[in-house]
Amino acid sequence: MDMIQIRQLLKENKLSEALVELNALIDREPDNAEAIFERGRTYWRLGERSKAMSDYCRSDALEPDGPASVALDQARQIEAFFNPDLLNP
């Protein structure tokens, strides 16, 4: 499956299915910064923040001018702002 088909799965909110396809694509093309970034976004949507940030870092290292650097910066800001004590009085 290619990125166009994977994006369609994501658009249809079929996150688990898209994740399986992204993992397969990354196994075939381990330096595919776009696929790694999209997997990070998918992890973020699934609430798996640490996996998402790991993928953002990896994608940014492969493609410094790509969108992962912005996503990584935003994810770090969100993590810095998060305070679990405020959620559990």
> Residue 88: is its pLDDT beyond 90?
no
35-66 pLDDT, tens digit each: 999 999 999 999 999 999 999 999 999 999 99
The answer to whether 66 and 36 are in contact (CB under 8 A) is no
Determine the average pLDDT of the residues in 8-21.
97
pLDDT value at position 62? 97
> Residue 89: is its pLDDT beyond 60?
no
Give every CB contact of residue 50 below 8 A, 6+ residues apart in sequence. Answer: none
- How far apart CA 40 and CA 34 sit, in angstroms, is 10
